[in-house]
Chains A and B, each alone.
Chain A
């Protein structure tokens, strides 16, 4: 995380290093306490603490409780992580056990 890379959060093209100053809004879709849902939540909090400490929020949505909520974000498989902010919206399907892939998917690391 170089301090020089601050600013610009809305760039479409991947940048070598970017550090959006705004809060990251993440939404994790889970199915009750299914093992993969639990794994995803654990991996996500670990990752956020390491890379986004103090500037992220995680909203957990349990689709077992309310399956209709899957419609807005067109969720098909669970767990799925949505990056609502910064834009553009990104969607990462799976339990986030592959940290590298998750970082790339969240654009926290260049691919």
Chain B
């Protein structure tokens, strides 16, 4: 039962909201939140529920130890959680949401050590760790996100509650549309390319394929993030945004400041800056970047294709640090073209986990001769997927989403949102199961 499924939209969410708004603020709501999150996780992954429970208790125990005994305990508990993550990543059965959970727990431990977490009780920490909108796939919120920006006492102020509910619904509908109407449809193109096999697709179709995949990945994850942000908002919490129109970036470094922003800022705050960031000379900066990118790659999975993906990006980011960025900034058009070519290339490593396919894909992208290529395949599939590709490109710019989020009270916008919602529900009801792509991390 993920956010894009009918039982979640029609049953779980409305029922949960009703109960949540009926109980009294603070302890009542926190308790409902914790039980709701456990139910949400348990209904899909019942066999992992005990593990989730143990990990939550361990994290809370860890914070008490870190508060009391400081650094040695921090080292111990960080090692424990990193160890759990590595073991889980290496095993055949990956616990859903483990990467996100562990990073949330680590963030809690670090923030406790830095004395940035005050006066948090067990209930607060449990609801922070288990908060179901972000539990499976982020955004990786900090404890401070959940603390300072929380609209703490809901219930009494009816206007605030309803306003949040309304804004949350808007966010949720946009995210749902991204996932169901764009990502799922665009996914068909990349899948088709792989079904034909890279050896037999025309160069044009290979390009269409990676464009389709690049857009699919964005709308899948941004769709999930917006739904998470939307649900949190309905409950009165503000989760951090995860994307800022990344495909409009002019360098790879900028792209990763605008893509999966909560993971990027996690690595920046807890790894890059403590290592010295860019303040200790060029050599040290490059080393720090290498550390961050090796870890980023491994966070995605203990598979060499993620390492390759990370190294590919690291190479360009290092070049940018050395001087390329100055050139790209001077000629913005060049920067855009550079990003729009290299990022889709990097997704080839991200998507394919066997070397022959990766090689074959690049050979076809660069026009090397294929086997039994149907010369006009790109016309066939291009026309099939054109509406989704065009809509995808349009929504890769921020204007559409920004307009919807800002003008949701206008009649036309309301109508559009309702159409998006019902089309998505219809597609979700009739379509095949399409799990979120980032659920495997």
A binds B: no
